[in-house]
A = this chain, B = another copy of it.
């Protein structure tokens, strides 16, 4: 057995049985070895940003890592931005990056570059495997590292000759490190804070925005009156009817400050203190109100779910006392198609178990509100701010959860970064409906230009936000990659098209012609 075969067998033995792939020459033995381990599913992406974003979406939904197969430093570079987002999401990902044969490195051949240096920027763990005999142990270490806790990107560089050499022996699974229970002392201290009668809030992030954690947080809220806040861009927020509602912090600093105003104790649960996304002239970056004390219930390595349950118990909150969102849906919208009516259509139609990959930026502001009372669903956000995440993320989520419908809410500007994901959706017959908000602008940038005080009416500056020359035609683009697509410019049409797309298996794309919203 060669190194590649042992590697793939070891991955599969540990439950890593999906590999999002964009291979090159250095990975040919890995590719050949796939047929000797049929349990491994290789999913081809036409660009590495698709591969890494899909691994992020998969990891968020499956709670175990997918592997990626990337080609040398430049392939890793192409996948960098979505690995950055995965890093911020604490998603477990195992990157396998093929490299030149060890004997070939000294020649600094044209494709060679310093792979490990790029990898280190986005990975919590990096290693180059140097012998076929070590590859199984190296890959187990990579898998273990990817689990953290918290989850992280682990990158294993795989020289071509380590892949093709013998001998190599696969290894079985080993127990991966689990989260640390939070001490009773910490829980008692936080319980006391929440009993103080002062205005308090829990800020939930990371592993604390899933159903089990939220049910416990809801019990904490009902017993103590504390506010439940969520990160601005959670990796995976479970929400909908029957689940305690979390108020996500706003992107805009002025709004966040209003949300936090008066809070005297802020309790962090697997998240960090809130800061502005960017620094702005004359504005503070730190969003904690003056005089507010910050406490940590659980950090990334802690068992936040258990801590919240213990906290609810410490507060004497009964098991079924959580206040939850009630079922409600907006009516099917009529009239003009806008960010708001698209949101209403989604709220009116959303089936149970839907997964939303949200990269709609300015046009998507209304979607969370319109779906707050919809059947339970998961909302996946742009954790790291590197656009080009939505379509790949939806792709990976659909691979992880073939029985759950996925909707990707996508801005037209950001759609163009990793549009190649549509082809993978078609190839794998994934149940993903992509809604592209076609406002023909980098709306967020027009907004930010004003935010940073760089007021300009100038032609060159405005031209850089303008996507009308020429207008992108997403129906043709989708068709070019084998995804059925339609266009709508009224709320009625959009609702019908969305209804049809959700009813039919396989991927669809709807280009929603909307005005600029902010």
A residues sitting closer than 8 Å to B (CB atoms) are 21, 23-26, 28-29, 31-32, 34-36, 38, 40, 42, 44, 46-47, 49, 73-75, 77-78, 80-81, 84, 88, 100-101, 103-104, 107, 109-111, 113-114, 117-118, 120-122, 160-161, 164, 233, 275-281, 285-286, 383-386, 388, 413, 416-417, 419-420, 423, 426-427, 444-445, 448-449, 451-456, 458-461, 463-464, 467, 469-477, 479-482
Contacts and interface: CB of A to CB of B under 8 A. Distances in A.
Nearest to A21: B464
A430 to B, nearest CB: 13
A279 B481 contact: no
A509 to B, nearest CB: 11
A33 to B, nearest CB: 8
B388 A78 contact: yes
Nearest to A274: B107
Contacts of A417: 46-47, 78
Residue among A23, A286, A452 with the most chain B CB within 10 A? A452
Contact of A81 (B74, B121, B384, B477): B74
Contacts of A475: 480
Contact of A88 (B100, B110, B114): B110
Nearest to A83: B77
A32 B454 contact: yes
B480 A476 contact: yes
A79 to B, nearest CB: 8
Given A74-B84, A109-B278, A279-B104, A426 B31 contact: no
Contact of A120 (B117, B456, B481): B117
A133 B101 CA distance: 47
Given A109-B277, A476-B477, 17 more contacts: A25-B278, A25-B444, A25-B452, A31-B464, A34-B464, A38-B460, A77-B80, A101-B278, A117-B121, A416-B420, A416-B423, A470-B481, A471-B482, A472-B480, A472-B482, A477-B480, A479-B480
A39 to B, nearest CB: 11
A74 B384 contact: yes
Contacts of A161: 279, 281
Contacts of A444: 25
11 contacts: A28-B452, A31-B464, A73-B80, A88-B110, A103-B279, A103-B285, A111-B278, A160-B452, A473-B480, A476-B479, A479-B480
Given A78-B81, A100-B279, A160-B279, A461 B31 contact: yes
B459 A24 contact: no
One complex includes copies of this chain to the number of 2
A26 B452 CA distance: 9
B281 A463 contact: no
B278 A461 contact: no
A518 to B, nearest CB: 14
Given A47-B417, A464-B23, A470-B481, A385 B110 contact: yes
A453 B164 CA distance: 9
Contacts of A29: 452, 454
Nearest to A428: B469
Contacts of A278: 25-26, 100-101, 104, 109, 111, 160
Contacts of A467: 46
A449 B26 CA distance: 9
The 5 closest A-B pairs by CB, nearest first: A35-B458, A470-B482, A77-B80, A104-B279, A101-B279
A419 B472 CA distance: 13
Contacts of A413: 46
A66 to B, nearest CB: 16
B111 A277 contact: yes
A113 B426 CA distance: 33
A375 B233 CA distance: 57
Contacts of A275: 104, 107, 109
B286 A464 contact: no
Given A111-B384, A281-B161, A445 B28 contact: yes
Nearest to A36: B458
Contact of A31 (B34, B107, B449): B449
A244 B9 CA distance: 55
A18 to B, nearest CB: 12
A78 B74 CA distance: 10
A286 B107 contact: yes
A129 to B, nearest CB: 15
Given A110-B383, A416-B46, A454-B164, A32 B77 contact: no
B460 A111 contact: no
A451 B28 CA distance: 9
Given A279-B103, A445-B24, A479-B473, A44 B84 contact: no
Contact of A233 (B31, B110, B384): B110
Nearest to A114: B121
Contact of A470 (B38, B111, B426): B426
